[in-house]
Structure 1
Amino acid sequence: MRKKGLLFLLLPLLAFTTVHKFYVSVTNIGYSEKDNALQITSRLFIDDMEQVLQERYDIKGNLATEEESELARDYLEKYLRAKFVVEVNGEVRDFTFLAKKYDNDVMVCYLEVPDVELSQTKSIQVQNEILTDLFDEQQNVVHFKINGNKKSFVLIKENNKGMLNL
């Protein structure tokens, strides 16, 4: 009988709790010997990126719909360039925004840093501030897998850089 009483006391509390959204992105960084390039794939939640476009650029992106804004890709690329930085041997390197696609509720962005000679590369550093300006709880997971070296980082607002030494 005591257990039922406890359940009746806790039930109203449980009824008013909501599922807290998890704010996370996952970025994989590899190297293509054929292309002499770092190849980067970032997976981001569509609704979070929709909110970025709205709040930062006042653009209703309508991402992953028939009505997707033509400006959405341009502003998405602009945002990624401002929030995602790659350094090779301490030098900031520009990336090419190759494409994006949608996979259920996730946007997958494909980036490439061309002309990277792996034999002359000592370190690769990534600064990932994607969505940390909107969500304090945002975590950006970065996985390096280059030349047999594997390293992963969980980057947050206060600690937004990860480095792979080769």
Structure 2
Amino acid sequence: MKSFKKFLVVLVLPLMAFSAAHKFYVSVTNVNYSEKDKALQITSRVFIDDLDKLLLERYDIKAKLNTDNESPLADEYLEKYLRSKFVVEVNGSTASYSYIGRKYDADVLIFYVEVPNIELSTLKSIQIENEILTDLFEDQQNIVHLKFGNDKKSFVLVKSRTKGMLKL
């Protein structure tokens, strides 16, 4: 019996160490220019469980994202939140964007956004402000990749620095 208790301690102790591990909070956003569509095409990948927690804490909605019991209000509130926390500026002016929709990929939700009617010849700067989940998680990092032809720039945006700019 004594050896069984030792065996149990040896088995359970390492598992307890993993449960106390800190989670990494991150989103990844890609901004590309489509010459064919004359538009900025944006995808943003965010962990589903983080968005579930956000919708519950901010809007009191049990979204149950990516389940058979997903709330019918989920999409409406996800778009509302996205529009309040994600801003695109083109040439120093706030650009309106179309929320195309979302899809799931394993444990990630992908947002699709487009800023239409952008002429490459008039494009001088693009600024992205991304505060997604920074109001919920102190350690949230929002990585943004901007790509326009040969011009590329990446930013790691955090709660204290939520904006990044690419000058062309």
Larger deviation, residues 136-145 vs 51-60: 51-60
Q: Tell me, in whole angstroms, the C-alpha distance in 2 between the residues paired with 1:138 and 1:31.
A: 26
Q: TM-score, normalised by structure 2?
A: 0.88
In structure 2, give the amino acid aligned to 1:50. D
In structure 2, the residue matched to 1:139 is 141
Of 105, 130, 143, the match for 2:107: 105
In structure 1, give the amino acid aligned to 2:21. V
User: Percent identity among equivalent residues?
Assistant: 62
Q: TM-score, normalised by structure 1?
A: 0.90
Of 53, 60, 64, the match for 1:58: 60
Q: Tell me, in whole angstroms, the C-alpha distance in 2 between the residues paired with 1:61 and 1:159.
A: 29
Structure 1 runs not aligned, ≥5 long: 1-11
In structure 2, the residue matched to 1:48 is 50
Of 86, 89, 113, the match for 1:87: 89
In structure 2, give the amino acid aligned to 1:105. D
Structure 1 residue 145: Cα displacement: 0.8
Structure 1 residue 117: Cα displacement: 1.1
1:1-166, aligned counterparts within 5 Å? 16-17=16-17, 18-166=20-168
Give the 4+ runs in structure 1 shifted more than 3 A.
Answer: 12-17
CA RMSD of aligned residues (A): 1.6
Q: Tell me, in whole angstroms, the C-alpha distance in 2 between the residues paired with 1:59 and 1:139.
A: 24
Structure 1 residue 147: Cα displacement: 2.1
In structure 1, give the amino acid aligned to 2:144. V
In structure 2, the residue matched to 1:5 is none
In structure 2, the residue matched to 1:6 is none
Structure 2 runs not aligned, ≥5 long: 1-11
* SS of the residue 1:143 aligns to: strand
Deviations 1:115-149 (A, max 9, x none): 11111010000000000000000000000011211
